[in-house]
Chain A
Amino acid sequence: MFKKSRLIGEFFMQGDIACAEGAIAAGCRFFGGYPITPASEIAERMALRLPLLQGVFIQYEDEIASIAGILGASWAGAKSMTATSGPGISLMTENIGLGMMMEAPCVVVNVQRGGPSTGLPTSWGQSDMMQARWGSHGDYGSISLVPNSPQEFFDLTVTAFNFSEKYRLPVFLMADALVGHMTEKVVIPPVEELEIINRKYTTKKPEDYLPYDYGKDLIPDFAKAGDGYRYHTTGLTHDKRGYPDMSFECQNELVPRLVNKIKNHIDDISLTEEYDIEGADVIVISYGITSRTILPALTMAKKKGIKIGYLRLKTVWPFPEEKIRKLSEKVAGFVVPEMNLGQISLEVERCAHNDSIVKLVPHPGGGIHKFEDVLHAIEEVAHGK
């Protein structure tokens, strides 16, 4: 069934499967995971595909081992991925922090369901957005991409691998059960038409190489395992050699760098789509599946004569602070429908100009927003309430 190394062409494909195919297209050859609804189809597809591509699929005993496994595979030079849902992310969170500290490229997929705890296994939510940003302890920069269709799940999986390799960190793909289990046409282009970024290896001689030395971009170069380079890494605060160093000076050089290597590249990482922003009175900000399920409400608002703009975030983290700040100077306010009880709306509030109104349209997950609720919020903001 899968003789070819990659599928090319048009397929009527489920979101989760498109994610697995995106990973394969990006060069992922190691998957470690533990099954959970609604992400299991990603693991099933990888189990079917990776052995034929000389890759490795391991179903581990749990999610803690899964994330440890993909960090190890990444360190050995493989592009690696795991896929789970909120409960699994909670278990992985400690080692995601280790990945941030080691600067290990990998992709962590969260097909979000309703939470907290085991919540709604077969239904959807968007309530893990803050967990993706702040889940593990300590300060670090992070990247989260949010697809709204099977095609975009494919595309953004490729992008997630590119960002992880370029900026050296675990990158989150924050899908949800509706996108994961939705089936639509997915076009998979030939590999030469895809932009694939691979990690940078040092050009220095082994005697000159330091594993955590960095240049202007703040990103250290890798050395290939087995090429004779001395390599050390640790979750402890470490110097450029990768050796533990508990001094304030070392902490003050390392941790701001982990934050700034993302912050300084926000223009490259931040992916957004804008519609009718020029001259808008109200801007609706949304991401993931919500960006599709609320569209009828936007049409209703337009029919009522409200000048409405629309900003869709494909990258939620790093948050587009500057963009929101600038937009807020021109509009009456923002409406933020999301399938949680207020997470990204807090970010919009933080970044928006003092005079602008920010209105959350909450939803606990397990259904979709009522159009009237979204419309009502838009009308209130348009009328300055």
Chain B
Amino acid sequence: MSELRVKISGFGGQGIILSSFIIGKAASIYDRQHSSMTQAYGPAARGGACSSQVVISSDNVEYPLVDTADVLIAMSQEGYDTFLPILKKGGILLYDTDLVEKLQSHKDFIAKGIPATRLAEELGKKIVANIVMLGFATKQAKIVSPEAMQEAIADSVPSKFIDLNMKAFQAGFDYNEEQ
């Protein structure tokens, strides 16, 4: 049985929960894996700390929580600071380079940064930063197949914004750190 545990952290309003929903849907509906998504938020949501998590498995997901992560996606400094300790040795950290500026030592894991929010702004809508990050995660951490991710995104966003979201996915997928 192979299992991948993904933690996504950021602010309320960034689409943190939608991101894990899309990953889970891509895995369980389009990649024919099993997945379980859970979320955490406080009584006041927008702007506050927010995290979500998804477990992807070749078998039934018995234990649904993410106490240790194989992949950590950080869309805020607070999210990075809070959840870096649960990232496994050898795990993958994906972060927004404009939002996570104070970095610790990354010698125990693979760290890859992308200015997801800035790239989203260049596409015309800051709100698709999470989708840029999903494109980046698909390429860099191979959490699900690119086809499944694209289908799940198209399925989960308003139909008139599918093109924009597909561009956002592609921008993240094609992003090269050395750029």
Would A184 and B61 count as touching, CB distance under 8 A? yes
Would A12 and B28 count as touching, CB distance under 8 A? yes
- Among A1-37, those with CB < 8 Å from B are 10-12, 37
Would B63 and A182 count as touching, CB distance under 8 A? no
Q: Mark A236-265, 1 if CB is under 8 A from B, else 0.
A: 000000000000000000000000000000
Chain A residues with Cβ under 8 A from B61's Cβ?
184
Q: How far is the CA of A293 from the CA of B36 in the complex (A)?
A: 13
Q: How far is the CA of A12 from the CA of B27 in the complex (A)?
A: 10
Distance in Å from the Cβ of A25 to the closest Cβ of chain B?
Answer: 20
Would A181 and B38 count as touching, CB distance under 8 A? yes
Chain B binding surface SS class = mixed
The count of residues in chain A whose C-beta lies closer than 8 Å to any C-beta of chain B is 17
Would A10 and B35 count as touching, CB distance under 8 A? no
Q: Assign chain B's interface to a size class.
A: 20 to 34
Would A183 and B43 count as touching, CB distance under 8 A? no
A52 contacts the other chain (CB 8 A): no
- Residue among A37, A183, A368 with max Cβ neighbours from chain B (10 Å): A183
Chain A residues with Cβ under 8 A from B41's Cβ?
122
A135 contacts the other chain (CB 8 A): no
Residue of A nearest to B26 (CB): A12
Chain B residues with Cβ under 8 A from A178's Cβ?
38, 64
Would A185 and B63 count as touching, CB distance under 8 A? no
B21 contacts the other chain (CB 8 A): yes
Distance in Å from the Cβ of B29 to the closest Cβ of chain A?
Answer: 5
- Residue among A121, A122, A296 with max Cβ neighbours from chain B (10 Å): A122
Contact residues of B with A, CB < 8 Å?
21, 24-25, 28-29, 34-43, 61-65
30 A-B residue pairings within 8 Å (CB atoms): A10-B29, A12-B24, A12-B25, A12-B28, A12-B35, A122-B40, A122-B41, A178-B64, A182-B37, A182-B38, A183-B21, A183-B24, A183-B36, A183-B37, A183-B38, A184-B34, A184-B35, A184-B36, A184-B37, A185-B28, A185-B29, A185-B34, A185-B35, A292-B63, A292-B64, A293-B63, A293-B65, A295-B62, A295-B63, A296-B63
Contact residues of A with B, CB < 8 Å?
10-12, 37, 121-122, 178, 181-185, 292-293, 295-296, 368
